[in-house]
Amino acid sequence: MFKLLYLIDFIVFAILIVLWVIVANRLSRLPFLSTKKELKISLKRSAILCGLAQAMVVAELVILVVTGTYGWGFIEEKVLLTMPLFLPSAVSTLVPLAILRKIVRQTSDELQTSVDETERKLLASPPFILPVQAALISSVAGCYFSYFVYPFELNIWNAVLIWMVFALILVALWFRQQRYSAELSQTHYKLPASTRFVRRILPIVIPAILIGGWYILSMKASVLPDHMNMGSMHHHEMNMQTMNHSMNDKEISVTALTGPQTEKADRYFELVAEKKQVTLSSGKTMEAWTFNGSAPGPELRVKQGEIVEVVLKNKDIEDGVTIHWHGYNVPNAEDGVAGVTQDSVPPEGTHVYRFQAKQAGTYWYHSHQQSAKQVIKGLFGSLVVEPQEMAQPQTKDITVLSHAWQLPNDDSFTPAYGLQDTLDRQTIPSGTPVRLRLINAQNYPQTFQLSGAPFKVIAIDGNDIQSPAPVDNQNLFIAGGGRYDILFTMPKTPVRLSSQSDAGATPGIVFSETETNAIPAINDKNPVFDPSRYGEKQQTPFGLNSKFDRTFKIVLDSRLGFYDGKLYALYTINRHVFPDTPMLTVKEGDLVKTTFINRGWDHHPMHLHGHTMLVLSRNGKPTTGSPWWTDSLDVAPGEVYEVAFKADNPGIWMDHCHNLWHAELGMTMHLSYEGITTPFQTGKKTANQPE
């Protein structure tokens, strides 16, 4: 519904601008018409167009009211910036409409006579012309404020300044039209052709110059810096009442925030990044970027409590690589973000990651150097941390790593589980407990369906669900980067796992007791599983009514604007793109609440590094089921989430949309602890491009 509102609103604005342009042009030509017959015909047409424009104004008001039902965060710009300009201008156009009706009535019986001087003067007067000009300007401004990136903060003082500028423009236009009307009267409405040409061309040339200047300046202003340091970014979002950090406090580098360095590793892995030709199950081949020659990379499976050492070697990836442990709360130096926690590893280079596996659950790893490109190419794999003692040692444990591969010379994507892009068949004895670890390594959210057996959702993003109940005929909607663990008991009849995303549908996996050609049907009408109402409520260390030390509001949006010198459909955070997005500043021990508001046209799976978020509410309704802990939260268009976390892992952490194409175009911000610095640089002239 919200996406439809967004589209309709944009269309209404576009129609409104076109209508006001046509009306303004027609009204400007009225004083030069010869006969009252011509005048009457033109007046009627202008009145119809003006009426249509008024209908669009009413439609815009209806859209505003409906959008307002989603919350203040969805309409604040329209209320503060658009409507104070838009409504008075639209109402004022009733004046020329009244004048039009009056003149039409007066000319009903005198169609062949010439237009008299009084009528011409009225048609060229400021009260007749200016309202439509004001409506046009306010419509253009409203469209700009609603759908374009603009370089100033939204607050009441900036709004007042814009109102004043608008008023000054109208005053200038009033005097200009008054002078023009007097000039027309003196020449008996027969201006020289050259003068009339200039008068007609100026309304085109001046806006063209202004738009061209805006385009060039915006393009240049958007060029990304050659070097940036995330420890010294100045766009800090903080609660000043609770900010008590002193500049004299000791600063700590991210390089000091390491995992265990002296203890012997319990588990040792070596991952070599290299280019290899790989083959999908369908026979399609492609050059992939692999770990240890396989794409996805090898599964790393360890026990909770073990010290893990991973040696990353780069064989031939020219732009460098890193490894980020997605969803795993490692110390900051081990986070694997190029330009923030380390430099990217160049060809023939090596980097060692060490951390203790404190969290059990399902996670994954991937490169965080040019991640939008490198993850799609194959530099990712699964990370499974088993508890010390498995509750059901006889359980069949299967990891399903879902991805969308881009084949050579093909703009489309091929969804697959691992490299399996055709129907996979696996035999499992009936009565066997089966744990499926579903990992969505796509940029898109995916809808998974298990057909043929009831199941339980036992974990979300590696976090166990309290007292999960059986689920049947429900689809699982998993965010980009998200993970669900589900458990079912293998029946005597076949069971099918399948999934669907914007990249397409996967044929999936059929589990059966014996080899069979039977395939359970997919039900497209299944309801979607609701994690906010699932499981048994449990005490949490903080909740919706807790006293928070830091509160942040994050508005996710879709806007047109410039990024690194090019015009894009951008995805913004608080109306900005990186590096102008907010830096969320906290201190260790803070209890932090964040409100995510998505008023754009696309899903945004928000991923916070180094911390696990507790979902407090969804669209104004508190969560009532088992505590919903997550690190990859999909915020759909029109949705509002409140989440909270404890600031207990010092560092400089990325907080970004895990649709990596969105992050690549600036939908990235950072969480920074007071007193933490980094020696690493990112930027166009460095080796580090984390997105």
Q: How confident is the model over 398-408, as a mean pLDDT?
A: 95
pTM value is 0.92
Structure tokens at 601: 């046209």
- The CA distance from 66 to 79, in Å, is 13
**Residue 110: predicted pLDDT:** 60
Ramachandran bin of 353, using left for φ above 0, alpha for ψ from -120 to 50, beta for the remaining angles: beta
pLDDT of 182 > 90? The answer is: no
Instruction: Provide the strand spans (E) within 523-667.
Output: 550-563, 566-573, 583-586, 591-598, 604-608, 613-618, 621-622, 629-630, 632-635, 640-646, 652-657
Residue-wise pLDDT tens digits, 113-154? 777 778 788 888 898 889 999 999 999 999 999 999 888 888
Tell me if residue 78 falls in helix, strand or coil: helix
CATH superfamily entry for domain 390-529: Cupredoxins -  blue copper proteins (2.60.40.420)
- The CA distance from 558 to 552, in Å, is 20
**What pLDDT band is residue 244 in, cutting at 50, 70 and 90?**
very low
- Cβ neighbours of residue 560 under 8 Å, at least 6 residues apart? 147, 148, 149, 567, 568, 569, 570
Of residues 660, 655, 661, the one with CA closest to residue 230? 655
Overall fold of domain 257-389: Immunoglobulin-like (2.60.40)
Tell me if residue 665 falls in helix, strand or coil: coil
Element (H, E) at 319: none
Burial class (CB in 10 A: 0-12, 13-18, 19+), 264: exposed
pLDDT of 496 > 90? The answer is: yes
Residue-wise pLDDT tens digits, 644-690? 999 999 999 999 999 999 999 999 999 999 999 999 999 989 999 99
**What pLDDT band is residue 240 in, cutting at 50, 70 and 90?**
very low
**Residue 392: predicted pLDDT:** 66
Burial class (CB in 10 A: 0-12, 13-18, 19+), 246: exposed
**230-249+539-677 and 390-529: same fold?**
yes
**What pLDDT band is residue 65 in, cutting at 50, 70 and 90?**
very high
According to DSSP, the β-strands at 396-405 and 361-366 are unpaired
**Residue 243: predicted pLDDT:** 44
- The CA distance from 370 to 481, in Å, is 16
Q: Which amino acid does the sequence have at 111? A: L
- The CA distance from 562 to 577, in Å, is 9
**Residue 116: predicted pLDDT:** 74
Q: How confident is the model over 507-521, as a mean pLDDT?
A: 91
Q: How confident is the model over 597-619, as a mean pLDDT?
A: 97
Structure tokens at 597: 């508001």
Residue-wise pLDDT tens digits, 352-361? 999 999 999 9
How many other CB atoms are there within 10 angstroms of residue 141's CB atom?
19
pLDDT of 105 > 90? The answer is: no
Higher pLDDT, 31 or 269: 269
* Inter-CA distances, 239 with 158, 509, 606, Å: 21, 50, 22
* Inter-CA distances, 485 with 106, 383, 505, 519, 537, Å: 78, 13, 20, 23, 19
Of residues 606, 618, 581, 609, the one with CA closest to residue 660? 606
**What pLDDT band is residue 504 in, cutting at 50, 70 and 90?**
very high
Residue-wise pLDDT tens digits, 361-371? 999 999 999 99
Sheet containing 604-608: order of strands: 236-237, 583-586, 668-673, 652-657, 604-608, 632-635
* Inter-CA distances, 511 with 293, 418, 420, 436, 451, Å: 28, 17, 15, 12, 10
- The CA distance from 290 to 419, in Å, is 12
For 158-176, give the DSSP string: HHHHHHHHHHHHHHHHHHH
Of residues 209, 135, 74, 33, the one with CA closest to residue 599? 74
- The CA distance from 592 to 603, in Å, is 24
- The CA distance from 644 to 364, in Å, is 23
How many other CB atoms are there within 10 angstroms of residue 589's CB atom?
11
pLDDT of 112 > 70? The answer is: no
**Residue 196: predicted pLDDT:** 67
Q: How confident is the model over 443-453, as a mean pLDDT?
A: 96
What's the distance, CA 30 to chain centroid? Answer: 47
Residue-wise pLDDT tens digits, 563-605? 999 999 999 999 999 999 999 999 999 999 999 999 999 999 9
**Residue 210: predicted pLDDT:** 82
Domain boundaries, the chain: 2-190, 230-249+539-677, 257-389, 390-529
Phi first, then psi, for residue 225 (nearest 5°) are: -65, 155
- Count the helices and strands in the chain (H runs, E runs): 11, 34
- Which span out of 153-167, 215-229, 372-386 was modeled with the highest average pLDDT? 372-386
Q: Which amino acid does the sequence have at 350? A: T
Burial class (CB in 10 A: 0-12, 13-18, 19+), 125: middle
Of residues 81, 93, 231, the one with CA closest to residue 165? 81
**What pLDDT band is residue 111 in, cutting at 50, 70 and 90?**
low
**Residue 443: predicted pLDDT:** 96
**Residue 107: predicted pLDDT:** 62
Residue-wise pLDDT tens digits, 285-329? 999 999 999 999 999 999 999 999 999 999 999 999 999 999 999
- Whether residue 429 has a cis bond before it, omega within 30° of 0: no
According to DSSP, the β-strands at 632-635 and 414-417 are unpaired
**Residue 334: predicted pLDDT:** 98
Residue 356 has, within 13 A of its CA and on its CB side, a CA count of: 9
Phi first, then psi, for residue 298 (nearest 5°) are: -60, 145
Handedness of CA 524, 526, 527, 529 (dihedral sign): negative
CB under 8 A, 24+ apart: contacts of 108-113: 108/40, 110/36, 111/35, 111/36, 111/37, 111/40, 112/35, 112/36, 112/37, 113/35, 113/36
- Which span out of 46-55, 92-101, 103-112, 290-299 was modeled with the highest average pLDDT? 290-299
**Residue 220: predicted pLDDT:** 92
Structure tokens at 587: 């201190």
pLDDT of 402 > 80? The answer is: yes
Mean pLDDT for the chain?
91
Architecture of domain 230-249+539-677: Sandwich (2.60)
Helices (H), 69-125: 76-77, 83-92, 94-106, 117-123
- The CA distance from 538 to 534, in Å, is 12
